[in-house]
Amino acid sequence: MSVAGSPSKTSTIASPPWTRERIEGRVHELGPWFHNLDLQGVRTAPDHFLHDYPAAKWQAFAHALPADLQGASVLDIGCNAGFYSLEMKRRGAGRILGIDSDEHFLRQARFVAEVNGMADEIEVRKLSVYEVGSLLERFDVVLFLGVFYHLRHPLLALDLIHEHVARDLLVFQSMQRGSTNIEPVKDNYDFWDKDVFDAPGYPRMHFVERQYAGDETNWWIPNRACSEAMLRSAGFDIESHPEEEVYICRRREGVPSRSLENG
């Protein structure tokens, strides 16, 4: 409270510096980690079964994204600990919103942003991909990486992204299993033409009833043809395929009428 005739003063308490010891303590408190991040020399998941993940994955497709994202808005769906959000900010992106349905990962993401001096530049929020319509906002770049196969309703998620939040660029990644072939598919087949479904390169989703790789959230795993077909069906044109599991896509206006009808 200010006193008449005296200037108003606001006292602030500066946060202590992020020493290595302090970082190590918080990393331990916030574990376990899926993103193996380097926080000023402290690794968050040094024994990760995928080794330097997701940095190694990112290096394989980073060249396919604009090096300068100055002012672009970014939505990072399933942001986990925020690795990709950090990379977007390093390329100059403006507004960055990371969403995840797991508060455990959001706590990690807030901590990571703070250690990197980006706490005021990267917003994180608890939200599932099925709730993106509530954002009432479109983004220049939508990151949808490592989420698709964890969803019970994956095509619905793509439809919602197209309808509500994607303005232009979609960066998509999914674990894939089965054939990497792409089988030429006709627009239509006769009811008695069954052989096409046995072709290795026909779009196919593998359903996991219980667990895969010890993870009960692995629900649907597509083959390559299926990933590409579902992206097209949801209204995204594939511009490039820079990495085995990654697709750079552009949103197109309008989607095939059958994708949102005949439920």
Q: Which residue carries 């995928």 as its tokens?
A: 50
Mean pLDDT of 4-26: 70
Closest CA to 127 of 155, 161, 169, 168: 161
- Pull the structure tokens for residue 184: 């030429």
10 Å CB burial of residue 233 (0-12, 13-18, 19+) is middle
How many residues appear in the chain? 263
Assess whether pLDDT exceeds 90 at residue 207. yes
* 166 three-class SS: strand
Q: With contact defined as beta carbons under 8 Å apart, do 63 and 87 qualify?
A: no
Contacts of 229 (CB under 8 A, 6+ apart): 185, 203
Closest CA to 143 of 207, 89, 105: 89
Q: What is the amino acid identity at position 61? A: F
Q: What is the amino acid identity at position 198? A: D
Which is the CATH superfamily of the domain at 20-185+194-259?
Answer: Vaccinia Virus protein VP39 (3.40.50.150)
Contacts of 161 (CB under 8 A, 6+ apart): 77, 129, 132, 142, 144, 170, 234
pLDDT of residue 256: 62
pLDDT of residue 13: 55
d(Cα 85, Cα 75) in Å, to the nearest integer?
Answer: 8
Question: Could you read off the pLDDT of 137-173 as tens digits, one per residue?
Answer: 999 999 999 999 999 999 999 999 999 999 999 999 9
Assess whether pLDDT exceeds 60 at residue 101. yes
Question: Which residue ranges make up each domain of the chain?
Answer: 20-185+194-259
Higher pLDDT, 4 or 217: 217
Predicted model pTM = 0.90
Contacts of 221 (CB under 8 A, 6+ apart): 149, 174, 175, 176, 177, 178, 205, 206, 208, 212
pLDDT of residue 187: 93
Contacts of 12 (CB under 8 A, 6+ apart): none
* DSSP H helical ranges for the chain: 20-29, 55-61, 83-90, 103-115, 154-160, 224-233
The percent of the chain in helix, strand and coil, each rounded to the nearest 5, is 30, 20, 50
Residue 231 has phi, psi (to 5 degrees) of: -60, -45
